[in-house]
Structure 1
């Protein structure tokens, strides 16, 4: 049927290490305990064969594709995989139509795994609706984007949503140990456990990335005629990425850095910045922390702080290191010497507290959208005062009636 079915591989075809060690059962699957731990909703649905169309979202290398394959095996369904970024004209319609026919013939709906589902346009996404609704296919969409912004509401309403989280270091090490055994058997290459730990630390929760690093190291070792991977080989592959800090030291030093900036101590701020960089910290991680700090601890006292950090990040990405360290220092000193205010943080916290306490209150009629036919008949927008011109500065109610007197933002 030309469906791009992912079944088996020819022996002569190069197979990535990440594919060789991919889990085949739920018992082999590592991580995502909040989804597939004993008694968790997704695991129960899989084991009972009652999983319906779903959206898997989360960072790359966290097991979305692997789990989709396991699901297909568990329910004895055919597995077909498409990538939304590589679809040819008419391919989606042809594939889904043929899968619908296959479902009728076999009596078991096939699993269609749609990678990068957020790349489908609205019409393509909505074409899938009738097939997911009548159960002729089990659609599993995968995306690194928040589906509530990237996937059509109609498709979301017919799908279960499951969030995949970055894998922790221990989970990645467990996966790498499986690969270590395979590489030892196939190539005679050995990876000391301390190398596996370092690979897990620099992979940022992405098992596929860690396995790719591992595979490249095995190729390099064979080229050099070396049977054991060394720290020097790892540094050659990932210059500047090998942290000399333990996990605790990493978080302690980041904490000291941010607290020094918050406390307006430029001397300590630059000191901890250099300590972090010399230890191999990712400069982009530092910049991400500075974005958060600019909003959390400086905020409305100096709104330009966000723009300065954004400019420093852009400049750093253009020039790289070591010259880019000047931009990191500029960003650090700018924040350390800026006036401080945590009003943004307090307002967000207070708003969340009110929403948690009061639930989903209705939008007052005068604030509702009135830019469509029939809105006025429904009373939408009636009584709203446009606060410009002769009405400039007019006071009117913007909160729901039940909380109209709540104070969320404090000067």
Structure 2
């Protein structure tokens, strides 16, 4: 049986890898590690289809070490311990764990001793921030390498490489006239891109003209209803978020059900709810963030199928809540000011003055301790002089933030006269 196009094109050397030049290019840290044969334990963090598994395979093919591979989806503590026992008989062993963020604490702890003692060199791949998903003890013994999303140039290069170098496709007469549809549908995932190209080229004869229209027609006929790593994943999570933002609990619960039925990672769904609670609700209803955080904790403890009840409760609450994006706008405005004006000096009166020298330099001089004044408030200036009077936050037009508006205006008078 013929291997899929993505497997046929999987690079054997770092020089053949598209993208990730900051790690794999001449003088890159992974290039140096392979050349020296001294491979550190590492976590490869990046979006789907950017080369995490490929890099692990390249290391395995270019370093004298016994190579083991496990998937965190299907492997447990027993599998980890079996590999460790086998690795004890080897001079050098590398263990690659795909989707390591899906390992629970017990599974990760089973790795810790072997990594500490050098029995195995661990290479973990994850699409999630390892600071949140990997135990701190294990993370401290690994180097974290961040893989970047592939840009349009990288993806077009990959398509051209497939057409000219693949043993099957190079025998066909293929003209790649347009690439926008292939790139958009792939979501920047190289594996998905090659799978799409294979679907399109398999649907035609030995001569074909690839256009955006022909791609869309073919893909609409053959794509699965839900692909956790593909376009449907992003379309459905987009519909889910927009339904909650649009205050439609019926639609929100429907898209939640679609993700649950498709086997979506429960932590991914809960994490998106946490972000939305601040991004789209914020101070219009501060309880939204509390509930979203409690939901994240609860579904982590319970898992499927019971966690669908907790997710449903949270989704209905968030969709039915008052909405405000003022926190999002405020930090965006403030970040823009930081980029525009650079590192403005902290006003002297609100600087810290822990030493006599600093006090002699007037650090902290004139600072008014708010609690010493009526209503625990003093109308002193807190912004750098160059941006005094700049407005970053404006309360939204909802009941809770209208209260904040009145409160700030009462304190600051004209300064907060929104």
TM-score (norm 1): 0.57
Per-residue CA shift, 1:322-374, capped at 9, x if unaligned? xxxxxxxxx9xxxxxx9987454334765996xx999xxxxxxxxxxxxxxxx
Per-residue CA shift, 1:178-218, capped at 9, x if unaligned? 22124565673333222455423321110000111112223
The 3-state SS of whatever aligns with 2:124 is: strand
Could you tell me which residue of structure 2 aligns to residue 234 of structure 1?
A: 215
Matched, 1:346 2:334: no
- The correspondence of residues 143-154 of structure 1 with structure 2, limited to 5 A, is 143-154=126-137
Distance 1:126 1:216 in 2: 42
- The correspondence of residues 162-311 of structure 1 with structure 2, limited to 5 A, is 162-183=145-166, 185=168, 188-196=171-179, 198-221=181-204, 225-231=205-211, 233-239=214-220, 288=238, 306=245, 308=247
8 A Cα contact 1:100 1:131, kept in partner: no
Matched, 1:159 2:147: no
Could you tell me which residue of structure 2 aligns to residue 112 of structure 1?
A: 95
For residues 307 and 170 of structure 1, do their structure 2 counterparts lie closer, same or farther at Cα, with a shift above 3 Å needed? same
Q: How many residues align?
A: 280
Structure 1 unaligned runs (5+)? 1-12, 104-108, 242-280, 295-303, 320-330, 332-337, 359-393, 397-406
8 A Cα contact 1:184 1:190, kept in partner: no
Per-residue CA shift, 1:256-313, capped at 9, x if unaligned? xxxxxxxxxxxxxxxxxxxxxxxxx99966985996xx9xxxxxxxxx9836278656
Q: Work out which of the residue numbers 110, 115, 121 in structure 2 matches 1:132.
A: 115
Distance 1:120 1:150 in 2: 9
For residues 187 and 170 of structure 1, do their structure 2 counterparts lie closer, same or farther at Cα, with a shift above 3 Å needed? closer
Cα drift, residue 149 of structure 1: 1.1
Could you tell me which residue of structure 2 aligns to residue 268 of structure 1?
A: none
8 A Cα contact 2:41 2:143, kept in partner: yes
TM-score (norm 2): 0.56
Distance 2:324 2:107 in 1: 48
For residues 120 and 290 of structure 1, do their structure 2 counterparts lie closer, same or farther at Cα, with a shift above 3 Å needed? closer
For residues 226 and 21 of structure 1, do their structure 2 counterparts lie closer, same or farther at Cα, with a shift above 3 Å needed? closer
RMSD value, Cα: 4.3
8 A Cα contact 1:116 1:143, kept in partner: yes
The 3-state SS of whatever aligns with 1:46 is: helix
Cα drift, residue 54 of structure 1: 0.6
The 3-state SS of whatever aligns with 1:61 is: coil
- The correspondence of residues 23-102 of structure 1 with structure 2, limited to 5 A, is 23-87=11-75, 90-102=78-90
